[in-house]
Amino acid sequence: MVGTFVRDLARTLAARGLAAEVVGASMVWAVNRAADGDDPVGRAMSPGLRQAVVCRPDEDGRLLWWWVWSGPTRDAPSEFEPLGPASDVEAAAHRIVSVLRLDGVRPEATA
């Protein structure tokens, strides 16, 4: 079931203009390539807008999407924030796109 949700989310994000890659059995890596800009040095230093989300159960066993955030220090574990029910792929995609898209901003203004 998790694999189906993960693949569906990746397809839905791609249909909405983001690059989306399935990573492992439960993660989707979403990237707004429009934010990469044309400067290779700039891309290396700031590689665009990107976000990892995972599909896993909460403490009550409900299957949810979770934002994955870096820990406060380089060696700290990742932190997870609930995004929504795993079964609601459309709502998850909408929220992810809302965070990663730069509507109304010209690509050259994002570099």
Quote the number of domains for the chain: 1
**CB neighbours (10 Å) of residue 1?**
9
**Residue 88: phi, psi to the nearest 5?**
-100, 70
- The verdict on residue 77 lying in a domain is yes
CB 56 within 8 A of CB 67: no
Alpha-carbon span 4 to 27, nearest angstrom: 12
How does pLDDT run across 14-69, given as a tens digit for each residue?
Answer: 999 999 999 999 999 999 887 655 555 445 444 568 999 999 999 999 999 999 99
Closest CA to 24 of 84, 70, 76, 68: 68
Whether the pLDDT of residue 7 is over 90: the answer is yes
Domain coverage including residue 53: 2-83
- The verdict on residue 109 lying in a domain is no
State the alpha helices, DSSP H only, in 46-105.
Answer: 89-100
- pTM of this structure: 0.80
How does pLDDT run across 63-98, given as a tens digit for each residue?
Answer: 999 999 988 888 999 999 999 999 999 999 999 999
- The verdict on residue 60 lying in a domain is yes
- The verdict on residue 28 lying in a domain is yes
